[in-house]
Amino acid sequence: MYPYAEQKDQIQVRLRRIEGQLRGVQRMLDEDKYCVDILTQLSSVVAATQKVGIMMLESHINGCVTQAIKSAESSDDSQVAIQELVEVVERFVRR
């Protein structure tokens, strides 16, 4: 079981809300709404998705990364988990 288990319900609620926002954007396009209003909605989808990413990241560090470091017999063992973490952070920072 992964460490986000505790927050799963909370994250699912947020994901469904983002999905709803995205369907709202599709409706706005269908109804020929003003582009700036659509752009505002899109930037809100980006921010909400990043927020879920931060939540997942926190539980990943608290769970998997902490576990990997604790159970590592040499620093090489935890190195894999840390490298993977840094790469996923980099993907968020530099899209």
**Residues of this chain that bind a copy of itself (CB under 8 A):** 1-5, 8, 11-12, 15-16, 18-19, 22-23, 25-26, 29-30, 32-36, 38-40, 42-43, 45-47, 49-50, 52-54, 56-66, 69-70, 75, 78-79, 82-86, 88-95
Count, in order, helices (H) and strands (E) of the chain: 4, 0
- Give the containing element (helix H, strand E) for 82: helix 75-93
Tokens of 29: 């396009």
